[in-house]
Structure 1
Amino acid sequence: MALIRRTNSWLPSIFNDFFGNEWMESRSLSSPAINIQESDKGFSVEVAVPGMTKQDCNVTIDEDNNLLISVEKKTENEEKDKDGVYLRREFSYSQFQRRMLLPDNIEKDHIAAKVEDGVLKIEIPKSKEEEKASKVKQIAIQ
């Protein structure tokens, strides 16, 4: 009878061999997909935010010229019997924050953001000349 030697790392090795290394990616499940596209006119950022509204999203530029994208949603569902005792109570909380360093050649005052069909779209236009002033700015979401 042959003995099978097991080590602490045998199971992940099997999964990595079978599914490939991409399967064991070290990403957080709460991190939404982000697309960033550059053109001659500027940058387009798309963040997947299914089920979120503009009230759940926040886009700002901090004093270090970082674009801060944060999303937070709280939901709570309750079912009670006649006496007010919980039969079932479910709640969820989703939170995400992403920080991206902005290039110097953008027009901070013309950045626009909107939520549409489960996607937060942020348009960042390029400027003709570099903006030197660095300040905190809140970006309204339409």
Structure 2
Amino acid sequence: GLKKEDFKLNLTNNRLTISAQHQSETAEENKDEKYTRHEFSYRSFQRTFTLPQSVNGEAVEATYTDGILHVNLPTREEAKVKPAREIAIA
């Protein structure tokens, strides 16, 4: 699986890019049958999301626990819905 260090997150102009790269190598040697085997694997992905203007880019946070990447996208204070108010007619 992927580790925390494999991930990279970038936020530019309200575009969040999440990418990951992982390399692994497995070696096996059998002296009885006189062979050595090496396996190499490389995995990568990249995904870009366009975020709404209401997201506070300065407060975006990410955590990685139990193999799951969590990205918190808080909204700006001015974008939060305010309760309706009654307007008196003069």
Residue correspondences, number:
77
Indicate if the aligned counterparts of 1:71 and 1:95 stay in contact, CA closer than 8 A.
yes
More helix by percentage: 1
Relative to the length of structure 1, the TM-score reads: 0.49
Q: 1:86 to 1:115 in 2, by over 3 A?
A: farther
Relative to the length of structure 2, the TM-score reads: 0.75
Displacement of 1:125: 0.2
48, 52, 61: which one aligns with 1:99: 48
Measured on the aligned residues, the alpha-carbon RMSD in Å equals 1.8
Q: Any gaps of 5 or more consecutive residues in structure 2?
A: 80-90
Which structure: larger Rg? 2
Indicate if the aligned counterparts of 1:67 and 1:100 stay in contact, CA closer than 8 A.
yes
Q: Does 1:117 align with 2:75?
A: no
- The percent of aligned pairs where both chains have the same amino acid is 35
54, 61, 66: which one aligns with 2:4: 54
Indicate if the aligned counterparts of 1:78 and 1:86 stay in contact, CA closer than 8 A.
no
Q: Any gaps of 5 or more consecutive residues in structure 1?
A: 1-50, 131-142
More strand by percentage: 2
Distance in 2 between the 1:94 and 1:124 partners? 27
Q: After the TM superposition, which parts of structure 1 deviate over 6 Å for at least 4 consecutive aligned residues?
A: none
**Structure 1 counterpart of 2:24, one-letter code:** T
